[in-house]
Structure 1
Amino acid sequence: MHISLDAVATTALALLLLATGAGLKRRLNWLEHFCVPTPVIGGFGFALLAWLLRDMGIVTFELDTAMQSPLMIAFFTTVGLGGSLALLKKGGKALGVYLVACWLLALMQNGVGIGMASLLGLDPLIGLMAGATSLEGGFGAAAAFGPEAEALGAQGAATAAIVSATFGMIVGGVIGAPIARWIIDRRQLPLVSEDVHDLERLAEAERPTQGQLDGRVLLNVLAVVVPVMVLGVWFKGLLSSQLGIILPSYVGAMFVAILLRNLNDRFQWISLPDNALSSVGDVALGIFLTMAMMNLKIWQLQEMGGPLLLILLVQTLAIVMLAIFVLFRLLGRNYDAAVLTAGFIGHGLGATPNAVANMSAVCDHYRVISHKAFIIVPLCGAVLIDIVAIPAITWCLNAFA
């Protein structure tokens, strides 16, 4: 039997799975103990069920995830509207350290992938597809570079790219938060965010006291968020057509949102309460990530065989070692550094929403928000990584074809 769900039905299913994941997390202590993100619980659970039913020849599912992209753009718009220049400056040295670590990760993943593929007798470009192309690059880069590698003679490169991105999405969303929690508990780190008190005082000085969250407040916030989303997509298209600069849609929206936020800080045009922004952003992120997880085709991991899986396991071990023994120490060995480690693993293996979900899981567990982490990770994971990552992938494609 084949079940096809349209966009509305798919969104409804994602909401039910998200709510189910939240309920299971409240009832099952081990899910809370390992800081498993709520969207991963419901979304991956459905993906696993779909794989089993397909493997048994009972039913296959076709999901219309048309709402996935708008929800992602909505989330990063709320991130941008929460980012005043005063807050962005809080990144400081940590922003530079984190960004350099991301660039080194891209080079390392390419080297590990190509080297492992050569040792295992595979085409080096298959290893490249199991490197930064699909891990730090995510599904977008995998879909773009996979066919290019196949055109250069690497048979199965497109499939390897998507399989690697699928693996990274799953693993990056599962292990990031537990590793950060292990670091915090093992080192008994003080549960204090470095800038949290300064940011709270800054927020009190810059915006009115937050009132009750009701329909009118949410309507006003949505009346800002949705037009900014449209302007962001338009801005992204303008950069592409006029300057040849390719950006993800959500990055354009985030930059427009940051600009509006800082102009609003000066001229006080509109009220943007933090509690309303975070509510809209949390719902958008939860539904989007649940959709992404529930649409994973886990059976593709079976079809590629052992060598590709071995490469991906080595990649996973490499990023975990880099995060624990290098990044965490360079960032100051404190609570913020541990939360940033969860984000680094999330988008280093999967995608920026994975990183945000990992950090949210850690902060929710300890009930201390790392403002610095939520500023640095989206900025680096969204576009700054590509300054080095995309040229490196392109060079490797030509060098090892």
Structure 2
Amino acid sequence: MEVQLNGYYTMILATLVLLLGRYLVVKVKFLADFNIPEPVAGGLVAGIIVYVLNLAFGLTFKFQGELQTAFMLMFFSSIGLSADFARLKAGGKPLAIFLVVVAAFIVVQDVVGVSLAAVLGLDPLIGLVAGSITLTGGHGTAGAWGPVLESRYGITGATTLGIATATFGLVAGGLIGGPVAKYLIKKMGHQKLPPPTHQTQAEAVAAAQSLYSTRHAEGTDQPDNAMFDKPDEIRLITASSTIETLALFAACMAFAGLMTTATKGTAIELPTFVWALGGGVIIRNVLTHFFRFDMFDRAIDVFGNASLSLFLAMALLSLRLWELTDLALPVMVILAAQVVVMMAYASWVTFKVMGSNYDAAVLAAGHCGFGMGATPTAIANMQAITDRYGPSYKAFLIVPMVGAFFVDLVNAAVLQLFTQLPFLR
């Protein structure tokens, strides 16, 4: 028996899931230590409850799909609206090099996933789910690609598998970052390490910003306001800024709808959320660079984070765990291989390309964090290392920018390329 819930009830249940998740993250130390998002913590409990109801009474639930889609598009629009390419220039050569390293790894991650899926007798597209869709992309990208793979390519349970795989990635990324960096630091033990410090994550990022500003004052870098909001200029989210920001989101979503319709059946057909992301990038950079529009990043972040939380809560409420029975073992084999590949790549490629020094070791720990999980996991990994061995301003400058802005753009492009390969379709 299927129970259909309209938008009001869907919103109520999604909010309850978020409140439950907040309570669990506060009370369960494991969830806090591994940066498990509140909607994921609460949503997995809700998914298990739905699973039990299905086993016991044959119940399934159908939630308001349009509302979930709208929040998904708002989230990806926020990524695009935050991607100011002046930041890439401002980060300098190290940021560009690190971005290339990360982009190459996304390709490696998908090649590993697709190859092992084929060897294990699975649809190769499941390898993308156990690849950069969920590991580099995280829960948001998993929830967005899941319906596309289900409806367009017939991959049953892609959304459920994606959410489960992304959760595994968060935990794995938090577990391997520290050991990888410690191994690299021990390996170069003859080199002098920075003096020890005890900074919070916020203090570490602020210190990186301060160093950046100092370099600009000395004429050795780009203007600091090209990359960071100035901490002494507090801007409140008012009714006017809310309307302004919502207008930007509406423009991104309208662009996504128009492009999805216009390109349907053509060689450049893309999922709607990719067009929303791309529309955000275009709008952001045109407004800021040609019209000198003062983009309100804080409001964009607030709406983007809220949209992601509600989207994930609704996606997790729709989990069909019973669809994963036959996939569990082979997917775990793929994920185990992905963990080994991530550790090897961070140690042999990320570390060496970024300079084979202490900063490179901290960057390797950060790469493990968002290469398997998310940017908060990367920051937590780096904080654990710098608390023990000393600060790395370079790492705290580069990783948040790549992890929060540019990696999603690269990942979307790589995934679109892979899904167009003839032998995967």
1:283 is displaced (CA, Å) by 0.2
Q: Which residue of 2 aligns with 1:204?
A: 225
C-alpha change, 1:336 and 1:311, in structure 2 (3 Å) is: same
Checking the alignment, whether the CA contact within 8 Å between 2:252 and 2:280 is kept in structure 1 is yes
Checking the alignment, whether the CA contact within 8 Å between 2:78 and 2:304 is kept in structure 1 is yes
Q: Distance in 1 between matches of 2:347 and 2:299?
A: 32
C-alpha change, 1:129 and 1:184, in structure 2 (3 Å) is: closer
Checking the alignment, whether the CA contact within 8 Å between 2:117 and 2:126 is kept in structure 1 is yes
Q: Secondary structure at the match of 2:295?
A: coil
Q: Distance in 1 between matches of 2:378 and 2:146?
A: 25
1:225 is displaced (CA, Å) by 1.9
The farther-off stretch of 198-207 and 290-299 is 198-207
The aligned amino acid for 2:329 is: L
C-alpha change, 1:293 and 1:339, in structure 2 (3 Å) is: farther
C-alpha change, 1:234 and 1:360, in structure 2 (3 Å) is: farther
Q: Distance in 2 between matches of 1:396 and 1:58?
A: 34
Q: Distance in 2 between matches of 1:232 and 1:136?
A: 23
The aligned amino acid for 1:229 is: M
C-alpha change, 1:254 and 1:88, in structure 2 (3 Å) is: farther
Count of residues in correspondence between the two structures: 357
Checking the alignment, whether the CA contact within 8 Å between 2:178 and 2:365 is kept in structure 1 is no
Q: Distance in 1 between matches of 2:282 and 2:118?
A: 41
- Equivalent of 1:128 in 124, 132, 136: 124
Structure 1 segment 294-309 matched on structure 2, within 5 A: 294-302=317-325, 304=326, 308-309=327-328
The aligned amino acid for 2:108 is: L
Q: Distance in 2 between matches of 1:48 and 1:83?
A: 36
1:10 is displaced (CA, Å) by 1.1
Q: TM-score, normalised by structure 1?
A: 0.77
C-alpha change, 1:264 and 1:104, in structure 2 (3 Å) is: same
User: 2:241 aligned with 1:217, yes or no?
Assistant: yes
C-alpha change, 1:61 and 1:294, in structure 2 (3 Å) is: same
Q: TM-score, normalised by structure 2?
A: 0.73
C-alpha change, 1:6 and 1:363, in structure 2 (3 Å) is: farther
Q: Distance in 1 between matches of 2:307 and 2:284?
A: 20
| Runs of 5+ consecutive residues of structure 2 not aligned to the other structure | 134-144, 186-196, 217-222, 352-359, 385-395
Checking the alignment, whether the CA contact within 8 Å between 2:109 and 2:131 is kept in structure 1 is no
- Equivalent of 1:114 in 118, 123, 126: 118
Structure 1 segment 258-273 matched on structure 2, within 5 A: 258-268=281-291, 270-273=293-296
1:330 is displaced (CA, Å) by 2.5
What is the root-mean-square deviation in Å for CA atoms of aligned residues? 3.2
Q: Which residue of 2 aligns with 1:350?
A: none
Q: Which residue of 1 aligns with 2:343?
A: 324
Checking the alignment, whether the CA contact within 8 Å between 2:80 and 2:284 is kept in structure 1 is yes
Checking the alignment, whether the CA contact within 8 Å between 1:75 and 1:284 is kept in structure 2 is yes
Q: Which residue of 2 aligns with 1:103?
A: 107
- Equivalent of 1:343 in 370, 373, 382: 370
C-alpha change, 1:140 and 1:104, in structure 2 (3 Å) is: farther
Q: Which residue of 1 aligns with 2:333?
A: 314
- Equivalent of 2:412 in 374, 377, 382: 382
- 1:220-245 per-residue CA deviation (whole Å, 9 max, x = no partner) reads 2112221222123323433446x530
Q: Secondary structure at the match of 2:3?
A: strand
| Runs of 5+ consecutive residues of structure 1 not aligned to the other structure | 118-125, 148-160, 347-357
Structure 1 segment 221-300 matched on structure 2, within 5 A: 221-240=245-264, 244-268=267-291, 270-300=293-323
